[in-house]
Amino acid sequence: MIPLYIAQLGIILAVFGLLLVAAAIMVYSERKVAAIIQQRYGPYLVGPRGMLQPIADVIKLIFKETLRPKGADRVLFMLAPLISATAAFTAFAVVPFGAETDLFGLLEQPISLQVADVNVAVLVLFAITSVSVYGIVLAGWSSNSKYSLLGALRSASQMISYELSYGLTLASVLIVANSLSLTKIVNAQQGTWFGWMPAWFVFVQPLGFVIFMIAGVAETNRAPFDFPEAEQELVAGYHTEYSSTPFMMFFLAEYINMVTTAAVATDLFLGGWHGPWLPEYLGWIWFVAKMGAILFFYIWMRWTLPRLRYDQLMAFGWKVMLPLAALNLLVTAAGVIYFGY
């Protein structure tokens, strides 16, 4: 019998490790997918089919020299990547990725596969994403360089702009699920409608789903919204001046954010770990599958779509996304009142 807190600790560690692994996998798969899309091989030397490539990258980065530009703010320059990484990891803390389980009787009481089940989980998530902007902004400002500053400014404004529609879609989902806790939201999507159609919120909130995805892309500074690090315009954006470990942290943070966003999307719209055929305790497979699909979609999008222009981005965010999100929220509220969920 393993006491509860040990189990909790275990989960925490597991989540941490899994996130790292996920990041690695993401790096590899991204390169591969990109290669496939561009009709090349991609990494194939390190390990079988170059599967160990990410590890090689990590080692390379670690052994690089840590540079700090002259006139950079010492403290902040170092603080920035930490903030990003921390925020990224923390965000996942409130995301449940599996049904409650007692690990086949190993525990005296079942625990949910989740680090912290806060009853305002969604808001916490939101809060953390909103904080994660600081990492980028500080990085840009502290490294005392035009490109960085511009990148920082861009990312700041971009994130703030898209947070609004992001939050509004969250709100509409909350209304439908009638709860703030992610676990409850997921459980609300159990079962099917009309016997064949999975009761996922994506079918209730199609528009919300689309908006959420787009906003998520913007939040994670992915193409086609990757302005903070638009190679062609600002050498590498906010992390131009970074190298070695700090750079790695940003790198990590970006991929983990992707994972987190995908996970959240899964929980909110795709019914989390609920799915047919598989037993409860294997629900996490469904979860991973759905997440994988979304992530693939991300990569796919990145390598197919060109980058917008900055003003287009802003205009789109404020003049299309926000109104649509607000409309969606209103319609949802009205519907909920009308059908009396």
Return residues touching another protein (CB under 8 A).
73, 76, 118-120, 123-124, 126-127, 130-131, 133-134, 137-138, 140-141, 149, 152-153, 156-157, 160, 163, 180
Residue with tokens 């802003």: 314
Q: Which two tokens stand for residue 330?
A: 């209103």
> Looking at beta carbons only, is 131 or 301 nearer to another protein?
131
Q: Which residues contact 61 (CB under 8 A, 6 or more apart)?
A: 244, 245, 247, 248, 251
> Looking at beta carbons only, is 4 or 75 nearer to another protein?
75
Annotate 192-239 with three-state secondary structure. Answer: EECCCEECCHHHHCHHHHHHHHHHHHHHCCCCCCCHHHCCCCCCCHHH
Shortest distance, position 250 Cβ to another protein, whole Å: 18
Shortest distance, position 158 Cβ to another protein, whole Å: 11
If we measure between CA atoms, which residue out of 226, 222, 322, 252 comes closest to residue 84?
252
> Looking at beta carbons only, is 75 or 320 nearer to another protein?
75
Q: Which two tokens stand for residue 278?
A: 């598989």
243 Rama sector, left if φ>0, alpha if ψ -120 to 50, beta otherwise: beta
> Looking at beta carbons only, is 168 or 295 nearer to another protein?
168
Shortest distance, position 127 Cβ to another protein, whole Å: 4
Q: What is the CA radius of gyration of the chain?
A: 21
> Looking at beta carbons only, is 9 or 160 nearer to another protein?
160
Shortest distance, position 186 Cβ to another protein, whole Å: 18
Shortest distance, position 339 Cβ to another protein, whole Å: 19
Alpha-carbon distance 252 to 237, whole Å? Answer: 16
> Looking at beta carbons only, is 61 or 123 nearer to another protein?
123
> Looking at beta carbons only, is 75 or 103 nearer to another protein?
75
Shortest distance, position 130 Cβ to another protein, whole Å: 3
Q: Which residues contact 39 (CB under 8 A, 6 or more apart)?
A: none
CB 158, CB 214: distance < 8 Å: no
Shortest distance, position 121 Cβ to another protein, whole Å: 10
> Looking at beta carbons only, is 53 or 240 nearer to another protein?
240
- Phi then psi dihedrals of residue 196, to 5 deg: -125, -25
- The torsion angle over the Cα atoms of residues 74, 77, 83 and 85, rounded to 10 degrees, is -130
Shortest distance, position 76 Cβ to another protein, whole Å: 7
Shortest distance, position 289 Cβ to another protein, whole Å: 31
Alpha-carbon distance 179 to 182, whole Å? Answer: 8
Sign of dihedral through CA atoms 228, 233, 238, 242?
Answer: positive
If we measure between CA atoms, which residue out of 64, 63, 67, 79 comes closest to residue 241?
67
> Looking at beta carbons only, is 126 or 147 nearer to another protein?
126
